[in-house]
């Protein structure tokens, strides 16, 4: 779905871009052409005005030649005035030629361009006017009189040229305004068409895209809702499982206690000898298997209670040394069976800790029991307890056992997690000891850390937060109850 939307956007964007570029290019070219024409027309208006001014100057300079004769002036002054007339005549002629050339290239009406075209009436009058000025500029002073033909022609033609120049300027200005209005109209229409085109293409692109996005969002919402429902169902199923295990564990412990109790009675031969030695072995196996099964059921029950949120701690002050000593005493027999030395390394004046003594001793039994299980015969287990810099307390159980690879440590904390390894096949348990111990420590606000090197051993550390550690030493306080 997402790839289709992206492809649609790309293809339609190309179309939009092509259309907009074409429209903008056409509008730009039209505006550029019209602007160039406007600049040339402005130049034509300026040249026509200059032509009008030069015609007046020629008339003034011609009259000066007559007036200067009536005054006592030198011939040099007269020749100077003739040169000025000749210069004005030359500028007049070049301006007329330039204006005629410029008007031919402009998109003006034929009426305007024909006036200054070769052979046109206005062009002929302009050239004749310049010719008469040139004649006056070349005559001797004695021949320039008020009735000189060239002078009369200049004087009579000046007014006519002024009128013709005014008509020419007005015609060019009128057509210039028309072209300016056309330029404005084209610009407005072009920009309006671009806006309309953008809107239309935007609708063509965005409307289908909006529908596709809405459909995609609806599908995502449906998937999220389905995932939420599945999560809730899974959580409900997990809660139901925990409740079921908790209830079933209670049902299992009662008959198991009976089996273990009767097996213990038979093993002790309270009511008389069993007779055969094989019967004694059978009873011993029944007792040990029942005890193991009871421990497993107890662990399952505790884990189920924790997951169901039904395990409450009975917090009270307890001496760390007493908890360690009690756990060590309970596991002395299996340690001696493997010739494993358990050493306690810690201060006797450690502060009391505010814990559930039963649950904390259960954690220590799990950790020391695992250390015994995974430590070869003749090994060593060291239990250390001490204060941390932040005021918390650490209780570490270190062994010289087979160790765990760093990649397998997370699996060791998984419920029913099993670490693969041929050398461990005979040592596998149910996979509840470490996960249960971790949960129990976390209920106390602490954490359980594990460090291990394969072939060198494993250290599991209970970290209790400062709020669980009393400020009073063991010698200054008595626990309210012996664990």
User: What pLDDT shows up at residue 163?
Assistant: 72
User: What pLDDT shows up at residue 482?
Assistant: 39
The reply to whether 296 falls in a domain is: no
Domain containing 400 equals 312-476
pLDDT, tens digit, 9 for 90 and up, residues 431-442 = 678 888 999 999
Instruction: Tell me the average pLDDT across 123-133.
Output: 74
* CA dist 60 → 64, 125, 162, 312, 376 (Å): 6, 18, 14, 124, 134
Whether residues 316 and 460 share a domain: the answer is: yes
Strands 316-318 and 351-355: antiparallel
pLDDT, tens digit, 9 for 90 and up, residues 318-366 = 999 999 999 999 999 999 999 999 999 877 788 999 999 999 999 999 9
The reply to whether 257 falls in a domain is: no
Whether residues 317 and 197 share a domain: the answer is: no
The reply to whether 300 falls in a domain is: no
User: What pLDDT shows up at residue 79?
Assistant: 78
Mean pLDDT of the chain: 76
Kindly report the number of other CB atoms within 10 A of residue 159's CB atom: 12
Query: Looking at 93-102, 182-191, 375-384, which range is the least confident one?
Result: 182-191
User: What pLDDT shows up at residue 393?
Assistant: 95
The reply to whether 228 falls in a domain is: no
Whether residues 64 and 203 share a domain: the answer is: yes
User: What pLDDT shows up at residue 480?
Assistant: 43
Contacts of 123 by beta carbon, 8 Å cutoff, 6+ apart: 96, 100, 115, 116, 117
Whether residues 209 and 60 share a domain: the answer is: yes
pTM over the 0.85 mark: no
For tokens 């019209």, name the residue. Answer: 34
Instruction: Tell me the average pLDDT across 191-212.
Output: 69
pLDDT at position 46 over 70: yes
Whether residues 37 and 165 share a domain: the answer is: yes
User: What pLDDT shows up at residue 481?
Assistant: 42
User: What pLDDT shows up at residue 241?
Assistant: 65
Residue 24: name the closest of 179, 185, 196, 193 by CA. 193
The reply to whether 231 falls in a domain is: no
Who wins on pLDDT, 80 or 5?
Answer: 80
Contacts of 126 by beta carbon, 8 Å cutoff, 6+ apart: 51, 92, 93, 96, 116, 161
pLDDT at position 24 over 50: yes
We report the CATH number of the domain holding residue 414 as 3.30.565.10
Among 157-161, 232-236, 376-380, the range of highest mean pLDDT: 376-380
The reply to whether 223 falls in a domain is: no
Whether residues 340 and 451 share a domain: the answer is: yes
The reply to whether 204 falls in a domain is: yes
Last residue of a domain, one of 164, 189, 213: 213
User: What pLDDT shows up at residue 414?
Assistant: 82
As a whole-number percent, the residues of the chain with pLDDT over 90 amount to 24
Whether residues 325 and 197 share a domain: the answer is: no
pLDDT, tens digit, 9 for 90 and up, residues 133-183 = 777 777 666 666 556 666 666 666 666 666 776 777 777 777 777 766 776
**CA 341 – CA 394 distance, rounded (Å):** 21
Token reading at 473? 């030493």
Token reading at 422? 């041929």
**CA 20 – CA 196 distance, rounded (Å):** 11
3-state secondary structure of 381: strand
Query: Looking at 75-84, 374-383, 388-397, 453-462, which range is the least confident one?
Result: 75-84
Last residue of a domain, one of 160, 190, 213: 213
Last residue of a domain, one of 190, 213, 236: 213
Whether residues 59 and 207 share a domain: the answer is: yes
Of the pLDDT bands very low, low, confident and very high (cuts 50, 70, 90), residue 16 is low
User: What pLDDT shows up at residue 422?
Assistant: 38
Residue 363: name the closest of 321, 327, 408, 325 by CA. 327
Of the pLDDT bands very low, low, confident and very high (cuts 50, 70, 90), residue 483 is very low
User: What pLDDT shows up at residue 300?
Assistant: 74
Q: For the chain, how many structural domains are there in total? A: 2
Whether residues 206 and 326 share a domain: the answer is: no
The reply to whether 274 falls in a domain is: no
Degrees (nearest 5) of the Cα angle 52, 56, 62?
145
Q: Which string of DSSP letters, residue by residue, matches 222-286?
A: HHHHHHHHHHHHHHHHHHHHHHHHHHHHHHHHHHHHHHHHHHHHHHHTTTS---SHHHHHHHHHH
**CA 424 – CA 41 distance, rounded (Å):** 103
């Amino acid at each position: 779905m997402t790839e289709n939307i992206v492809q649609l956007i790309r293809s339609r964007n190309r179309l939009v871009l092509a259309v907009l570029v074409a429209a903008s290019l056409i509008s730009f070219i039209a505006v550029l052409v019209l602007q160039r024409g406007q600049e040339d027309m402005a130049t034509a208006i300026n040249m026509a005005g200059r032509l009008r001014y030069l015609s007046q100057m020629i008339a003034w300079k011609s009259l000066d030649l007559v007036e200067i004769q009536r005054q006592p002036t030198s011939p040099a002054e007269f020749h100077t005035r003739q040169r000025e007339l000749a210069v004005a005549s030359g500028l007049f002629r070049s301006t007329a030629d330039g204006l005629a050339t410029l008007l031919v290239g402009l998109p003006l009406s034929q009426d305007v361009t024909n006036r200054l075209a070769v052979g046109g009436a206005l062009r002929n009058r302009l050239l004749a006017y310049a010719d008469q000025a040139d004649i006056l500029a070349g005559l001797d002073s004695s021949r320039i009189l008020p009735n000189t033909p060239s002078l009369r022609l200049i004087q009579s033609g000046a007014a006519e040229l002024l009128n013709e120049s005014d008509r020419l300027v007005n015609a060019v200005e009128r057509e210039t305004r028309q072209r300016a209005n056309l330029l404005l109209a084209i610009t407005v229409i072009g920009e309006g068409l671009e806006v309309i085109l953008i809107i239309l293409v935007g609708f063509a692109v965005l409307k289908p895209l909006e529908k596709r996005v809405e459909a995609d969002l609806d599908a995502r919402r449906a998937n999220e809702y389905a995932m939420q429902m599945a999560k809730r169902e899974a959580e409900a199923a997990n809660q139901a499982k925990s409740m079921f295990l908790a209830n079933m564990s209670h049902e299992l412990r009662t008959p198991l206690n009976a089996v273990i109790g009767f097996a213990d009675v038979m093993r002790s031969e309270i009511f008389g000898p069993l007779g055969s030695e094989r019967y004694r072995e059978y009873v011993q196996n029944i007792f040990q298997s029942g005890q193991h099964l009871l421990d497993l059921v107890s662990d399952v029950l505790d884990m189920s209670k924790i997951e169901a949120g039904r395990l409450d701690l009975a917090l009270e002050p307890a001496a760390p040394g007493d908890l360690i000593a009690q756990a060590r005493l309970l596991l002395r027999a299996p340690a001696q069976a493997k010739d494993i030395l358990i050493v306690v390394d810690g201060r006797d004046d450690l502060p009391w800790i505010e814990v559930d003594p039963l649950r904390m001793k259960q954690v220590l039994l799990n950790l020391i029991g695992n250390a015994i299980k995974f430590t070869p015969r003749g090994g060593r287990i060291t239990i250390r307890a001490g204060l941390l810099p932040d005021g918390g307390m650490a209780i570490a159980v270190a062994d010289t056992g087979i160790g765990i690879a760093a990649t397998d440590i997370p699996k060791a904390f998984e419920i029913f997690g099993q670490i693969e390894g041929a050398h461990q096949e005979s040592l596998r348990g149910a996979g509840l000891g470490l996960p249960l111990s971790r949960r129990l420590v976390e209920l106390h606000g602490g954490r359980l850390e594990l460090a291990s090197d394969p072939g060198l051993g494993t250290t599991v550390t209970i970290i209790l937060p400062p709020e669980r550690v009393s400020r009073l030493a063991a010698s200054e306080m008595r626990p309210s109850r012996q664990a």
